[in-house]
Copies of this chain bind each other. A is one copy, B any other.
């Protein structure tokens, strides 16, 4: 049947790409490794960030940017650690863009930092299209969301360097098929690293932190 589509304006995207390249050059200059963390609402981005901070504490100097449409509950949670954090409220926009990151990093200061974690707005669609000058895109799929999500939100699964499967503590209570998920994702994105974790129990966090440390060291 005939389907009309609204596409995101290509001019907006290419302007963002230019600014993101510029931002990437700055991050490279300061030797700050940047991770753009994306997922659906409630998949566990903030909980995972807290686990990463805990795992890398004392080894890596971390700074965090929290993106939300409204509220600062996530920044407050991260602010209880010793890590510097800035909250961006997009006031309706469904993703972060390079311009927002530029403002945030100017206010944060990156001197001596080694890892910048950007928590994007909870959304599996638009954040995949907007580069933020990051070194890696990491996405979280949480077990209760189901293993059919790669078919329905293909861009994010294709663009991500690592896929964190969070809430594996809930595996016994769902019909999530881990093998089916891996097969689908690897067919779309053969080089993606998959990390099954539970931010709640801590299971699998060490493997993810080791991968991330290797990435930071390699920059």
Contact = CB atoms under 8 A, between A and B. Distances in A.
Interface of A: 1-8, 12, 40-43, 68-71, 73-74, 86, 88-94, 97, 99-100, 103-104, 107, 121-126, 129, 142, 144-146, 148-149, 151-155, 167, 169-170, 173-174
Nearest to A88: B3
B70 A1 contact: no
A159 B148 CA distance: 28
23 contacts: A3-B88, A3-B89, A3-B104, A4-B97, A4-B100, A4-B103, A5-B90, A5-B91, A5-B100, A6-B93, A7-B92, A40-B41, A41-B124, A41-B149, A69-B152, A70-B151, A71-B151, A92-B125, A122-B153, A123-B123, A123-B124, A126-B126, A144-B144
B42 A1 contact: no
Contacts of A4: 97, 99-100, 103
Contact of A5 (B93, B145, B153, B169): B93
Contacts of A125: 69, 92, 94, 121, 123, 126
The 10 closest A-B pairs by CB, nearest first: A42-B145, A94-B125, A144-B144, A1-B107, A71-B151, A6-B93, A40-B41, A40-B40, A5-B91, A42-B146
Name the prevailing secondary structure of the A interface residues: loop
Given A151-B71, A152-B69, A12 B2 contact: no
A1 B104 contact: yes
Contacts of A2: 103, 107
